[in-house]
Structure 1
């Protein structure tokens, strides 16, 4: 039997909603302003809600609206800036004696509006209840400040709204503090910077929520949410008002676009959508900048303005306790004829402020003094500087300004927030004109989370945070007597991005120009240029090579040249990684970087990459030998131990390694050719599988079959390392098992281990296809998003015995298996591999030889290998496994 039939008001409302949204879509597609479309959506919702409200009154009260209640729109509905699929926040304000009648209306409203297709947030409150909840919950307060009368008793609504306005004014200081804190918590969740590459246009910093915060603070302080009224009250400058209005229309139009594209509520601006919108809105490629980059640069420019205006408005209206202000003044001292410094702030005398704020050298000197003394610049001083610098005509800075800027860069303290302020005022690009290109510049990968300019300043911030770090990296940072070059290099290390040529090479050329422009000495210019050129060297060596190979470390030491440069480069590399995004600088990566640093420094100090390696290996072997189960020096366990190189002896604690060797020896004594066991590695938070295989005549394809076994079980390989011991291959794989992200159960380990050993022991059996799995995850992004080229490099110089093949590409399921299979089919033997996968990109390094043991020497052979691997990178993964 069917359910109850829908009422006429619901059927009519559904049709009205469908036609109304299509009408709004047409206006939007024809170039209608964002606010125009939002007004149309709000009018549509008004008509539907009022019709349902009136029908409820007809059904329950013979068409009469019960006395003592008012229907109120609030939140975005009250503000009339709804997007096409927004929900509708409604409230019935009622007198106590009208509650029973209001409940019947409320039930009909919520039921029918949901049936029509509008998501409804509904509340039934008395005036006292609504106001009381507002004082205790900033989310409720912010929503009710946007209340708008829809129907019922205007007198009831007016009484409620005046009570809310009057109560807010009495509690304004606390409410404003609570609003700012609630917004800070929201930004922490959705993005503390306005330069996120996949932002939430509503909730990320600089988005619509920050514009709304101006309204909410305005209500608490002045009883007004309308921006034009706040302008007339002189609480917003005309220029700020103009920028906010322009930003609002851009952001609301963008939000409408997202809703129309998804046919549902959607506020996340994903990478694929960015490209589609840039094309639909006719952004053009100019000066090497892609249309999507031009579009997103406008987005970041808009949100940057909103971020700063909202921040200043909040500071203007946030009260500091009078006692705190008096203490700051009485405990202050004069720095010069115009500047005073207190316990926490530094500021310019009011009488000097107008002239002072227009002088770039004096402003930069003030920032330098604030940074050196770890003081915040007073709000009114900074506001005057901001207004003056916005009016200033950009010009080439004089030597005094450059000197003050270098002085600012010489200390950590408050350097990063001051650089952000300088960037907002476009002063950095006056000092370093090439920095202008980085403003809002996308980095089109999931590895980076921020635009180039935001990442660069975050890198400076990551370095200055080392000042209070008790780790070895903190000690190295503090050991740098002059930090100017480090901070400057971090600020400009990615300045070469956005050009066709390698960004490190372009950046190094720009770094030299910057050094000459700043009149640095020749040695400082050389170091600055070198730091920018080599800023990825630590990552390339530590994450993609065998650090136990002395040739690798010697080659790196030769590039570095001195302990001073090593310290600079290591701190630079770690700060750069920390600034990429959350979770990028893992304990695993820090361990590898630290290992590289210690080996290289030891070489500079002693002339040896390692201490006496033979003696160290012998010492560890004795420790392991003491824990072996068998005392017979001729046993398989002892013979295995004798073969292990120092790199493997160092991988485990001696007793753990002894157990592994005993396990492998038993399996070999039993005639097995393959063995696989599992450990959970807490450092990278990944499962680690150790695979041992006696090769026999099968010298190629072993790595590929292991990778295929993991792929067929639905497991992705994060990292891999290979060691060959005469006839024995001893491989280690760090993997991500989506079914068991933590330590997997024994049954799962057995399933995977059996799959690996079976495929190795039966080379004639084809590798099973990768496991297919139903998922509710969002569909894979289109290939058009992957704008960085795949790359294959060959290095025959670093190692005597092997060709190093480096492969860079966007990740795909089963990619490593296909690469390893291709190398095997081309007759190449993999002797060592280091797999580095992060989010959407892989950087795999293989030490390979031809089957006869020679390197890949001939250009034709290199071309063949490169073409095969690039074809794999470009292959559609849906047709590959």
Structure 2
């Protein structure tokens, strides 16, 4: 018997047996065995282990009780153990089934047997129940119901088990509508926690959408609705087609193999396919070289292909199994009407008649006509109609991307794109049914295409569909984005650009340039007028332009904004580009479009709109600055020392001119006017419309070398996430630095005490400088050690731009963000004798980018010497690499 630290000999033997079995299974897996074979072999070995432990527990009982245990009870495997789909470190679920009258007498056996199971070190789900208990609990709890629907006898009274199984099946048939609802509700709750979309870039291969749990859902629905859980039996019953069965079997084999591999690699249960695991598995599977696609991207495309098939099949099975409410069966004929003989429009759905189904088979134009009618009546399309379309589309030959689509297809597709109402859902359906591929062939390449970086959360096709949905959502937006979107008379080109803007990804060439050419080809294919094709091409080509300008440049600088106004050309194009940029950021992932970025983009939009609306954008930009300086001079007349004011205002950088209301700008300058030499002052204010804190620092250049890196180090060490920084050197040696940050220790507005604390620390960093590097507090979500593989896979880049700014070199650092990165960069810039005038920090679109306007600290001006540029490049890369490696 088990007691204290002493294990029963049977338990010791079981532990040794499990170690031996897992070792053999690992060898079997590594030799290339199918996942289902490894899982089945493990389940069979577990049968033997459980049987031995049960017999050992029985052997410790008195003779009468031994006879009772053997004759009147049984050991039942259920859940994955029951299905024989046991990964190497899966939980093992066992039920001890007995007659109700024997519950008390068999209690000693239950204690011994369950203790033996737990003592093996396995994760065990154990329960002792009599049949009535099990039946009652299954009706109340979806988890118990699904588990016991997979019940399998391991040993014991066959008659008792078969009687239970018959009653269980009968109960499922009697209560199937309620049970189906319970099953689907439980699965939706699980998906909301582990991933509602198939296209998560770090999926849970058991619980995310389209994963193993959805294959199990098909089994559970089959058992509940049709009395069969095995997919092959469901195929014979007509619930699954032969093609669906084949795709489901292939997906199961792939996912079981992958789950086994994750378990063996971790040497414990692990169902999360993290980025470093994706790299490892892709290397193991030895994908052939493919231009424009990394092995890891090929692997994840294979993963998404399988999980998309599972999601689609599970959705069809659930929809077809759902009960039709009796009142709808009676009222649909009364409250529905025919539409041109091809469809019936009911209270809730639209479905095809027999004649309509014949027209829909393989005919893209008729499918689009159906969507037009559905949108016209604001009804969803019946599941069986969708299924008929899907089956017919699967057999259609590929299309020629260079040929125009039929005229009626083009007209109906463009009509669909014109209205935002059901656009997102309609395009998503067309994509699922492979209809969209026949209109936009490039969607085939984007299907399941992984963007292997740390910033996109979805695949290219999922991101594209979400961008369209984000665009359409601005119809209800109360702010500037909503006003701009609603002001567009014809939205179809904007919607089409949102759908195709990233379809150039997955090739060697820059995706915006390739996408622009794809847009021209698509315009011809859809018979768009030439000016609309040009609009579409320009939107795709420039879809990153506003984001890069707003987050990396001084948008008040005429040298930046005037060329952009010329690129855009018209207010209508600017409006579409503004909305597309907001939607693109929204669709990258949750929280990427924050209030700060939205306000930056809105400022850029409004500023550019003013320039475009004038006859001469350059003259308008100069006039805007001139008018601002005149207003500031007028406000400054009330102060003494007018020569000082005139000198400062005449030479204020553009970002200072428009840093806030004119009164605020004058107030900040007045603080600086009264600041003694060798002193510093700092103050903070919360900007609610951007959800950021602005810290302003005033001092003199003479106070200490390396002002910028000292301030960034101080802010980061106090857990201030720096979004943007402006470093301005004014006349007479004055310095005015401004940082826009989000406090990682506060939600919303930080307290006045907190802002004072940060301000005092900034002042102290300059008045009492130290060359000792700051200490950065570790975050709870600091990257795991094994995830360094992903960091190394995304190389650091340093680029120089000597053409955009008149007097500065623009230096951009593309790097994987981590604690201390910004301080490391700014300290290195100081060490290599550079002065920073403007900085944009931590943008998140395609790459994390830190941008700095720099000049030579001694000679001033741009850095043009190739040797000096190479030295800066090497030093930055070396210091960032040291940081990644944990070196000082």
TM-score (norm 2): 0.90
Kindly indicate whether the alpha-carbon contact (under 8 Å) linking 1:459 and 1:491 is maintained by their aligned counterparts in 2.
Answer: yes
CA gap 1:159/1:743 in 2 versus in 1, 3 angstroms: farther
Counterpart of 1:495?
503
Matched, 1:245 2:241: no
- Point out the more displaced range, 69-78 or 566-575: 69-78
CA distance in 2, matches of 1:569, 1:641: 37
Counterpart of 1:703?
708
Matched, 1:357 2:361: yes
Q: Secondary structure at the match of 2:813?
A: strand
CA gap 1:94/1:557 in 2 versus in 1, 3 angstroms: same
Counterpart of 2:525?
517
Match for 2:545 among 532, 537, 544? Answer: 537
Counterpart of 1:436?
444
Kindly indicate whether the alpha-carbon contact (under 8 Å) linking 2:365 and 2:408 is maintained by their aligned counterparts in 1.
Answer: yes
CA-CA distance at 1:680 after TM superposition: 6.0
Q: Secondary structure at the match of 2:576?
A: helix
CA distance in 1, matches of 2:172, 2:771: 75
Matched, 1:407 2:415: yes
Q: Secondary structure at the match of 1:199?
A: coil
Match for 1:79 among 64, 79, 83? Answer: 83
CA distance in 2, matches of 1:192, 1:166: 33
CA gap 1:329/1:588 in 2 versus in 1, 3 angstroms: farther
Match for 1:528 among 536, 554, 561? Answer: 536
CA gap 1:691/1:155 in 2 versus in 1, 3 angstroms: farther
Instruction: Identify unmatched segments of 5+ residues in structure 1.
Output: 626-630
Q: Secondary structure at the match of 1:564?
A: helix
Counterpart of 1:167?
171
CA distance in 2, matches of 1:267, 1:324: 42
Kindly indicate whether the alpha-carbon contact (under 8 Å) linking 2:672 and 2:699 is maintained by their aligned counterparts in 1.
Answer: no
TM-score (norm 1): 0.90
CA-CA distance at 1:312 after TM superposition: 0.5
Kindly indicate whether the alpha-carbon contact (under 8 Å) linking 1:9 and 1:51 is maintained by their aligned counterparts in 2.
Answer: yes
CA distance in 2, matches of 1:131, 1:664: 79
Kindly indicate whether the alpha-carbon contact (under 8 Å) linking 2:275 and 2:790 is maintained by their aligned counterparts in 1.
Answer: no
Matched, 1:800 2:819: no
Counterpart of 2:7?
6
Kindly indicate whether the alpha-carbon contact (under 8 Å) linking 2:97 and 2:129 is maintained by their aligned counterparts in 1.
Answer: yes
Kindly indicate whether the alpha-carbon contact (under 8 Å) linking 1:759 and 1:767 is maintained by their aligned counterparts in 2.
Answer: no
Counterpart of 2:700?
694
CA-CA distance at 1:514 after TM superposition: 1.4
CA gap 1:740/1:349 in 2 versus in 1, 3 angstroms: closer
Q: Secondary structure at the match of 1:100?
A: coil
Counterpart of 1:878?
885
Counterpart of 1:36?
37
- Point out the more displaced range, 248-257 or 646-655: 646-655
Counterpart of 1:286?
290
CA-CA distance at 1:261 after TM superposition: 0.6
- Point out the more displaced range, 527-536 or 579-588: 579-588
Matched, 1:853 2:860: yes
CA-CA distance at 1:649 after TM superposition: 7.5
Q: Secondary structure at the match of 2:111?
A: helix
CA-CA distance at 1:685 after TM superposition: 5.9
Q: Secondary structure at the match of 1:579?
A: helix
Counterpart of 1:58?
59
Counterpart of 1:148?
152
Q: Secondary structure at the match of 2:41?
A: helix
CA-CA distance at 1:849 after TM superposition: 2.1
Counterpart of 1:21?
22
CA distance in 2, matches of 1:764, 1:785: 31
Q: Secondary structure at the match of 2:814?
A: strand
Q: Secondary structure at the match of 1:354?
A: helix
CA gap 1:459/1:441 in 2 versus in 1, 3 angstroms: same
Counterpart of 1:301?
305
CA distance in 1, matches of 2:131, 2:688: 55
Counterpart of 1:628?
none
The size of the alignment, in residue pairs, is 872
Counterpart of 1:832?
838
CA-CA distance at 1:30 after TM superposition: 0.9
CA gap 1:275/1:372 in 2 versus in 1, 3 angstroms: farther
CA distance in 2, matches of 1:738, 1:543: 20
CA gap 1:768/1:349 in 2 versus in 1, 3 angstroms: closer
Match for 1:471 among 479, 484, 487? Answer: 479
Kindly indicate whether the alpha-carbon contact (under 8 Å) linking 2:633 and 2:645 is maintained by their aligned counterparts in 1.
Answer: no
CA distance in 2, matches of 1:309, 1:71: 34
Matched, 1:560 2:561: no
Match for 1:810 among 816, 828, 831? Answer: 816
Counterpart of 2:590?
582
Q: Aligned ranges for residues 673-822 of structure 1 at < 5 Å? A: 673-677=679-683, 689-696=695-702, 701-710=706-715, 717-726=722-731, 727-735=733-741, 756-762=762-768, 765-768=771-774, 778-779=784-785, 781-783=787-789, 786-822=792-828
CA gap 1:545/1:489 in 2 versus in 1, 3 angstroms: same
CA gap 1:697/1:678 in 2 versus in 1, 3 angstroms: closer
Q: Secondary structure at the match of 1:782?
A: helix
Q: Secondary structure at the match of 1:481?
A: coil
CA distance in 1, matches of 2:665, 2:135: 67
CA distance in 2, matches of 1:545, 1:644: 17
Deviations 1:784-807 (A, max 9, x none): 565455444434444333333233
CA-CA distance at 1:72 after TM superposition: 2.2
CA-CA distance at 1:388 after TM superposition: 1.0
- Point out the more displaced range, 116-125 or 863-872: 863-872
Kindly indicate whether the alpha-carbon contact (under 8 Å) linking 2:276 and 2:786 is maintained by their aligned counterparts in 1.
Answer: no
Kindly indicate whether the alpha-carbon contact (under 8 Å) linking 2:678 and 2:702 is maintained by their aligned counterparts in 1.
Answer: no
Q: Secondary structure at the match of 1:831?
A: strand
Matched, 1:446 2:447: no
How large is the Cα RMSD of the aligned pairs?
3.5
Matched, 1:391 2:390: no
Kindly indicate whether the alpha-carbon contact (under 8 Å) linking 1:344 and 1:376 is maintained by their aligned counterparts in 2.
Answer: yes
CA gap 1:734/1:104 in 2 versus in 1, 3 angstroms: farther
CA distance in 2, matches of 1:386, 1:105: 55
Matched, 1:193 2:197: yes
Deviations 1:176-221 (A, max 9, x none): 1222222122222211211111111111111111111111111211
CA distance in 2, matches of 1:151, 1:665: 91
CA distance in 1, matches of 2:672, 2:97: 76
Match for 1:125 among 119, 129, 136? Answer: 129
CA distance in 1, matches of 2:37, 2:734: 72
CA-CA distance at 1:494 after TM superposition: 0.9
Q: Secondary structure at the match of 2:849?
A: strand
Kindly indicate whether the alpha-carbon contact (under 8 Å) linking 2:291 and 2:507 is maintained by their aligned counterparts in 1.
Answer: no
CA-CA distance at 1:648 after TM superposition: 5.1
